[in-house]
Amino acid sequence: MSIFYNNAVCDIFIGKGAGGKMMQDIRNAQRNVKIVSPYLSPFLIKELIYLHSRGINIRLITSDEIEDFYGYDKNIHKLIIQHRNTDEKAKETRDNLKSLSGTLLFVMIGLGVVLLPLMYLLNNFKFAYGFAVVILMFLIRDSVVKKIKRTKVYHYTYKQLFPFKVFVSPNSSNSSNKTFIHSKIYIIDDEIAYLGSLNFTGSGVKDNHETRIRTTDPNAVAKIIEEMKEIYFHSNLPERDIQFWGSQLYEEPMN
């Protein structure tokens, strides 16, 4: 995972607002946008979602230190789509148990309504023994309710809105990975490429003092594209599993 290319024709920018021209090029993309950035900001993830909705092909490489993973905006959620799968047999079992629970409750209330007046109107407290039946039904219903709660009707799978990879950061606990994809690469329509220090974040694009180069040199862009393909398909670095991430991002009610 490395390239060297000499004599590339490029523009150089150093300073604040290094991402201004880059964002303009990204928003004007006609075919595809490819990005490598270890950090992302919520509103810029939103930009990628909008591009995807326009039919622009997006490919993203980032790290598990995404800024809004647990943040307020939660745009990362929109990159991972939850699909709920139903176990029809379990659903039928649950529905039957719910029906039984409702019937037991109805009978318990009915018995209580009948037994109490009989006890006091006839002044015969032998009817109180009938409440043993009510208690027994209560215990049976309690068991049924617990079984309803344990019945797993739904399981969940997740898919990506568009292709992206999230590599495990060396900073993550229990990670044996020593390589951090710290590069910042932006490719637009396979014709324009940006390299530099700016992350795909609000501070990187607008506020920080950053360095970046922009090139439309066909040979240089082709080399950069090949390097991004190498990172995406052949890095052999540990990745976050999308099924695990989805389970962390979304609630997963059993039934």
Measured over the CA atoms of residue 241, residue 242, residue 245 and residue 246, the dihedral's sign is: negative
Cα separations in angstroms, 8 against 22, 196, 199, 219, 253:
18, 15, 22, 8, 54
Whether residue 178 has pLDDT greater than 80: no
Of 36-45, 58-67, 126-135, which range is least confident?
Answer: 126-135
CA–centroid distance for 211 within its chain: 31
Average predicted confidence (pLDDT) for the chain: 87
pLDDT band for 174, please (50, 70, 90 cuts). low
Whether residue 189 has pLDDT greater than 90: yes
Residue linked to tokens 């993830």: 45
How far apart CA 76 and CA 64 sit, in angstroms, is 11
User: Residue 81 is which amino acid?
Assistant: I
User: Among 157, 156, 160, 181, which Cα is nearest to 65's?
Assistant: 181
| Residue-level pLDDT at 133 | 81
| Residue-level pLDDT at 75 | 67
**Does residue 173 or residue 133 have the better pLDDT?**
133
The string of pLDDT tens digits covering residues 205-252 is: 999 999 999 999 999 999 999 999 999 998 888 888 889 888 887 889
How far apart CA 42 and CA 202 sit, in angstroms, is 9
Q: Are 204 and 198 in contact (CB under 8 A)?
A: yes
The verdict on pTM exceeding 0.75 is yes
Q: Which residues are CB-neighbours of 103 under 8 A, at least 6 positions away?
A: none
